[in-house]
């Protein structure tokens, strides 16, 4: 998911629009009464029909169902639209609107839902190293959760995208922790920790984090950077991910990939029609009112890539 240094006119416009929206508090984090969240509607949205309780089994089931039914996607920043983080706005989008979101949206809303059920949970931030070159110094652009249960602490993440863990990871366990799709491990490095994934026979670094207390303003500022910075991969690329029990679907611009739990994968390049169909059906994203803007944005993205290729071949 490397971002080209070439910046399109759209990117500059998106940055200006985002700055204006931020001034108008469209990105402002607002505390919400947890009891006001639509818990029953959320449980129905993710297909969870049991009575929620504070337990590891319930936590694992909620995480799996959430990832299966609510896609990771970045349509708002890709189209220059605001990304508000208050819980009611997130409920409108993720539950009532049939949309998905990225890490701050997913994990902030999931944290609010867990707290409403009665879980002890807090948000952390991390630095993403996945698919980055050696020596890269990333910002704190990712959010994850630390959930405390009677038997210990667990890392929970429903918003990392293509390699989101599909089950809670025991925080104090340093060995491999299998899930239905991949195995993960949590490593300690003095003053911080890392989450790694086993791909083939090699452990690969996803992100690093520490236990520093994070305030709402920390998520708000990181969210603005991710949604609006002209070099952000979420401004410059169309991304969608959905995890099912035996496979992951991923979309990067026009490249659609299906990865199975046994390591097999299939890829294809999609034209506009099939791409919108895949977003709507495979990723289960409600595209009402977004089809035309998406097609226009993808056309500009394709033209930009063609210009880059011409310059490289010239």
Domains defined for the chain, CATH in brackets: 9-313 (3.30.2140.20)
- Is 210 an active-site residue? no
Q: Is 48 helix (H, G, I), strand (E, B) or coil?
A: coil
Region of poorest pLDDT, from 23-37, 117-131, 194-208: 23-37
Distance (Å, whole) CA 28 – CA 282: 32
- Of the candidates 21, 66, 157, 229, the residue annotated as catalytic is 157
Distance (Å, whole) CA 253 – CA 239: 6
Distance (Å, whole) CA 314 – CA 311: 5
CA-nearest of 137, 168, 183 to 67 is 168
Residue 154 has pLDDT above 90, yes or no: yes
The b-or-e profile of 219-249 (16+ CB within 10 A means b, else e) is: bbbbbbebbbbeebbbbbbbbbbbbbeebbb
Residue 83 has pLDDT above 80, yes or no: yes
Distance (Å, whole) CA 279 – CA 289: 14
Mean pLDDT of 251-272: 94
pLDDT of the residue at 36: 75
Residue 8 has pLDDT above 50, yes or no: no
Q: Which two tokens stand for residue 13?
A: 């416009």
Residue 55 has pLDDT above 90, yes or no: yes
pLDDT of the residue at 32: 52
Q: Is 308 helix (H, G, I), strand (E, B) or coil?
A: helix
Mean pLDDT of 236-265: 96
- Is 103 an active-site residue? yes
Residue 188 has pLDDT above 80, yes or no: yes
Higher pLDDT, 34 or 155: 155
Mean pLDDT of 32-53: 88
Phi, psi dihedrals of residue 174, rounded to the nearest 5°: -100, -5
Q: Alpha helix (H) ranges present in 92-179?
A: 103-117
- Of the candidates 65, 66, 86, 103, the residue annotated as catalytic is 103
**Residue 301: pLDDT band by 50, 70, 90 thresholds?**
confident
Mean pLDDT across the chain, nearest whole number?
89
Q: Alpha helix (H) ranges present in the chain?
A: 9-23, 39-45, 56-69, 75-78, 87-91, 103-117, 216-228, 233-236, 272-277, 291-313
- Is 66 an active-site residue? no
Cβ 179 vs Cβ 158: under 8 Å: no
Cβ 127 vs Cβ 139: under 8 Å: yes
pLDDT of the residue at 302: 75
pLDDT of the residue at 309: 60
- Of the candidates 65, 66, 106, 142, the residue annotated as catalytic is 142
Mean pLDDT of 23-34: 50
**Residue 310: pLDDT band by 50, 70, 90 thresholds?**
low
**Residue 17: pLDDT band by 50, 70, 90 thresholds?**
very low
- By percentage, how much of the chain surpasses pLDDT 70? 86
Sheet (strand 239-244) strand order: 72-73, 239-244, 247-252, 255-260, 265-269
């Amino acid at each position: 998911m490397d971002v080209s240094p070439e910046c399109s006119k759209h990117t500059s416009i998106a940055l200006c629009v985002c700055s204006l929206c931020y001034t108008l508090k469209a990105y402002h984090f607002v505390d919400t009464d947890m009891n006001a969240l639509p818990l029953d509607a959320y449980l129905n949205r993710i297909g969870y029909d049991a009575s929620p309780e504070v337990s590891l089994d319930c936590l694992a089931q909620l995480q799996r169902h959430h990832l299966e039914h609510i896609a990771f996607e970045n349509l708002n920043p890709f189209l220059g639209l605001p990304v508000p983080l208050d819980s009611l706005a997130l409920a409108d989008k993720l539950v009532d609107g049939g949309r998905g979101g990225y890490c701050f949206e997913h994990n902030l809303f999931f944290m609010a839902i867990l707290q409403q059920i009665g879980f002890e949970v807090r948000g952390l931030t991390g630095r993403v190293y996945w698919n980055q070159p050696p020596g890269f110094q990333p910002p704190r652009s990712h959010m994850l959760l630390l959930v405390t249960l009677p038997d210990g602490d667990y890392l929970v993440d429903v918003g990392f995208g293509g390699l989101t863990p599909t089950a809670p990871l025991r925080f104090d366990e340093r060995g491999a922790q299998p899930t239905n799709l991949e195995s993960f491990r949590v490593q300690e490095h003095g003053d911080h920790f890392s989450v790694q994934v086993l791909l083939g026979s090699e452990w690969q670094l996803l992100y690093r984090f520490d236990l520093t207390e994070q305030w709402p303003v920390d998520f708000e500022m990181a969210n603005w950077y991710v949604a609006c910075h002209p070099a952000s991969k979420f401004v410059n690329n169309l991304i969608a991910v959905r995890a099912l029990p035996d496979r992951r679907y991923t979309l990067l611009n026009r490249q659609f990939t299906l990865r199975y739990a046994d390591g097999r994968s299939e890829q294809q390049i999609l034209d506009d029609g099939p791409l919108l169909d895949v977003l709507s059906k495979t990723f289960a994203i409600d595209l009402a009112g977004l089809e035309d803007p998406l097609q226009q944005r993808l056309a500009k993205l394709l033209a930009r890539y063609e210009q880059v290729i011409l310059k490289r071949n010239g």
